[in-house]
Chain A
Amino acid sequence: MKRTKNDIILLVVILIVCALVSIGMIVYNKQETGVRVVVTVDGKEYGSYPLNRDTIVEIEGKIGINTMEIKDGSVRMIEAVCPDLYCVQHEPIHANGEKIICLPGTIILEIVGGEESELDSIVG
């Protein structure tokens, strides 16, 4: 019985910690509305694109070319060369802090808000 009690405590602690971390990150990010999507490949910034302009971008990832679409303020991956295609199945993102990740391609699409930039888009 003591073991079962410990199990329950463990589970509750884990759930609470994870929930807090999740909520903390969400709240922290929602301070600003999403303005741009930043594309990172292999840890380096590949480009940054405003959400208010519909575009299609080809991203050269680690294993091939993924295609990202910005439409109506949302971002999604419409084509990918990875075997599992989780990035394509992911629902479109638009809120600050949301990300779509292609693990094999080491590509991260992240919505970022905030500072005004003189440049409309930066392509690395």
Chain B
Amino acid sequence: MSRKKKKSPAEQLALYGVLVALAFIFSYIEALIPLPFGPFPGMKLGLANIVVVVVLYIAGAKGALAVSMVRVILVGFTFGNLNSMLYSLAGGLFSWLAMALLKKTDRFGVTGVSVIGGVCHNLGQMLVATAMLGKALGYYYPFLCMIGAATGVVIGIVAGLITNRIKKYV
């Protein structure tokens, strides 16, 4: 029978270090995969959110927020795109808030939580874009939210599988 014992600060630091690094690498890999352009040049898979969702279920909302924000800032500074970082921060915050709240209701599974995360990530970015551009964005942005929901499903399934496997060890 496994019993959860409190982690020492050193253990926590090591664990979160690994998690952030993993999320960071996911971001990098994702940037290497070209997605179809045409009308949607900004599409992303959101692979790093696999880590965020897993952390949400293993360490709770605070841990998930920490990993998410640190990852966004790290990626922003490493790849030198501050403008994009602003959008990622907004999307990440909105997404985290929605996921934490939805999880709290205890009425949805990992997949549902991840779906709302995906949609709210795009919503958050849309809000920032509207604020910065001074005008509403157009009909393909709701469509982008659909894509966000769809990738959310995949991310959620993967995160669920991972969470089940590593629960015992973390």
A interface residue numbers (CB < 8 A to B): 2-4, 6-7, 10-11, 14-15, 17-19, 21-22, 25-26, 29, 40, 42-44, 82-84, 86-87, 89-91, 97-99, 101, 103-104, 106, 108, 110
* Bound CA span A21–B145, Å: 11
Contacts of A87 in B (CB 8 A): 41
Known contacts A14-B115, A89-B37, A90-B41: A4-B80 contact under CB 8 Å: no
Most buried by A among B39, B116, B132, B133: B133
Q: List 5 A-B contacts (CB under 8 A).
A: A18-B119, A40-B135, A84-B84, A101-B133, A103-B132
Interface residue range, chain B: 20 to 34
Check B142–A21 contact: CB distance below 8 A: yes
* Bound CA span A110–B140, Å: 13
How far does the Cβ of A115 sit from chain B's closest Cβ, in whole Å? 19
Contacts of B116 in A (CB 8 A): 10, 14
Contact of A103 among B109, B129, B140, B146 (CB under 8 A): B129
